[in-house]
Structure 1
């Protein structure tokens, strides 16, 4: 499958020639990457293949030693994850980065709190709790997460799947152009994993492309439009899950199968 096989000529997020070294270890070795609008792109690779370094380079968590990154066709340079977030790249890590003791609303708006209108908000920094509750309730409802009845309840009272839902809703709520999900179903049961996969498809249906990092091959093959196979610090190839089996993907990922004839 060539890189235009998804029916898009212009990637929304593109990287070319990324290099990242840690001393004598080369984590990224002239790595390329393409994410097209409206797709779910899975990124798979063996442990130590450089997947984490790739995602960190795209999301501003590390700065590559060489190479370029483009968002919407324009070169970008992110010094911090906050800069990437402000540009529209939101990352939901496996650890979720939620504050368990705070409410769902407070977690949704952490660092983005809405001030009350007028003097109270401007000079006394009073928060507009009503507006934040309404916004949070709407965003959770949009993603079918209103099984959560009380949005003022602490996050620590939620199940693992519900916490993942809050983290994804937060990423999707603030104008994200791209959402990166790092092992979103890890440590979840079958039922909760199912809900998270449905949530991923819901987000994609709203036009937000997703990068899905996962070791769970059945999940990858169920929801991904394309699969980026990462090996030895670079993109080995991309495949269409309709054209390859899980065994093929694992064989490519581990070096047991030659990617000859598969597009890089």
Structure 2
């Protein structure tokens, strides 16, 4: 479970972002603690992806304060996010079908022993990460083209964990997956929390969110509209916040 008595792993306050005349985010607040899964939910155009991209360093907010472990920071690029211990898995997994699992995990950051790649070391690390996630991938030498959608998500998540990030952002990780594949990915999310990572989950699926989230943050029209405990909040209450049937804007952490 999360340690909400500690310093937040990441805190965003008063975040604004506009695209021309469209105000995507307006005075949005968001906080996540170590060992916590926080879901960001909302209808289409609520601002979920914009907020995730700000955390990932893909876009820069127009206004607001960002703090990493209590220290003010800026995240102007994905490299800056990586340096702060933030890793992101977007919906487009950017994996290579013609490569095996190990090659996908270490693509662009291969381990070497002298002039040659250290295949044994990479295999060992790949197996450990997948084992920690309780992944069902049969072999780290399996070609990606032969894996299911859930197993591909396993590879994408495992690749982010190579750098031992403090925070992992998952953008719709269960979209288009079967029931069994979805269950596998949700297990990975719980395992990441158990391993000490903070997890930001962007999702439309309320069943998935309520299954794993410690806290649920609702965005509506680019603004906060409620902060709810994941395990005790009713489905109806969350939907009311998402649709605007109820105003929970003062209930934000």
Instruction: Using structure 2 for the length normalisation, give the TM-score.
Output: 0.94
Aligned to 2:51: 54
More deviation in 169-178 or 49-58?
A: 169-178
SS of the residue aligned with 2:120? helix
SS of the residue aligned with 1:17? strand
Return the alpha-carbon distance in structure 1 between the equivalents of residues 56 and 240 of structure 2: 28
- What is the CA deviation profile of residues 51-72 of structure 1, one whole-angstrom value per residue up to 9, with x for unaligned ones? 1111101110001111121111
Q: Is the 8 A contact 1:229 1:235 kept in 2?
A: yes
Q: Is the 8 A contact 1:8 1:37 kept in 2?
A: no
Alignment of 1:225-264 (within 5 A): 225-259=214-248, 262-264=251-253
Aligned to 2:100: 103
Aligned to 1:12: 9
Alignment RMSD (CA, Å): 1.7
- Give structure 1 stretches of 5+ with no counterpart: 121-125
SS of the residue aligned with 2:177? coil
- How far residue 260 of structure 1 moved from its aligned partner, in angstroms, is 6.8
Distance of aligned partners of 1:37 and 1:112 in 2 relative to their CA distance in 1, 3 Å threshold: same
Aligned to 2:155: 166
Q: Is the 8 A contact 1:227 1:241 kept in 2?
A: yes
Aligned to 2:70: 73
Distance of aligned partners of 1:96 and 1:207 in 2 relative to their CA distance in 1, 3 Å threshold: same
- How far residue 99 of structure 1 moved from its aligned partner, in angstroms, is 1.5
Return the alpha-carbon distance in structure 1 between the equivalents of residues 197 and 244 of structure 2: 32
Say yes or no: does 1:34 pair with 2:31.
yes
**Which residue, out of 88, 91, 106, partners 1:94?**
91
Aligned residues: 252
Q: Is the 8 A contact 2:226 2:250 kept in 1?
A: no
Return the alpha-carbon distance in structure 1 between the equivalents of residues 163 and 250 of structure 2: 40
Say yes or no: does 1:128 pair with 2:125.
no
Return the alpha-carbon distance in structure 1 between the equivalents of residues 28 and 242 of structure 2: 15
SS of the residue aligned with 2:128? helix
Q: Is the 8 A contact 2:225 2:247 kept in 1?
A: no
Return the alpha-carbon distance in structure 2 between the equivalents of residues 261 and 77 of structure 1: 26
Aligned to 1:185: 174
- Give structure 2 stretches of 5+ with no counterpart: none
Larger gyration radius, structure 1 or structure 2: 1
Please list every run of at least 4 consecutive aligned residues from structure 1 whose deviation after the TM superposition is greater than 4 angstroms.
Answer: none
Aligned to 1:25: 22
Return the alpha-carbon distance in structure 1 between the equivalents of residues 60 and 252 of structure 2: 27
